[in-house]
A = this chain, B = another copy of it.
């Protein structure tokens, strides 16, 4: 799937899994908060589904940590503070901003961790790609957002602006994930083409919502 060659960028498995699993947990936390705060029962049901998919990804990554001999809480712990801070930063000021954030950040970071997986040693990549692909369309969120945006032009421009801020914070997060995965700063140049691809997919997601990236 990656058009760029990431074979020389070799994240270490445990830091990769620790970050990926904790990120999915934080997406789950954000999505379930949105479920609880949804006013409409139909939205609640849709968001409960999305939350469940994120939880499922988290739990599959936790199972991978165990399968490779790690203790899940210990493997995730070193990344919790940084990811919590990031989640707070992209939380948004209201329900629609938060919803947009979950959609965009889970989209960007799932793509990014899918690309990173290409560099994992010992044939561990494909399994990680497969896990990140689970429920990756998040169509329930996209449908709620598209409906709201097409009904309210001002909301659309507010969320377009918010999306631009979120993407900045998320790319910084992705960049730091490379170092945290045991790669040197010098690997950053090698990662640039990945960012180009990840941003292109982000732009398609924004377009899909009717927003200008």
Contacts and interface: CB of A to CB of B under 8 A. Distances in A.
Interface of A: 22, 25, 28-29, 32-33, 35-36, 40-42, 44-45, 48-49, 51-52, 55-56, 58-59, 62, 72-73, 76-77, 80
A77 B41 contact: yes
A72 B45 CA distance: 8
B52 A59 contact: yes
A158 to B, nearest CB: 25
26 contacts: A22-B41, A25-B48, A28-B35, A28-B48, A29-B32, A29-B35, A32-B32, A32-B33, A32-B35, A32-B36, A32-B51, A33-B33, A40-B73, A41-B73, A41-B77, A41-B80, A45-B62, A45-B73, A48-B58, A48-B59, A49-B59, A51-B55, A52-B52, A52-B55, A52-B56, A52-B59
A143 to B, nearest CB: 14
A195 B59 CA distance: 37
Contacts of A80: 41
Contacts of A73: 40-42, 45
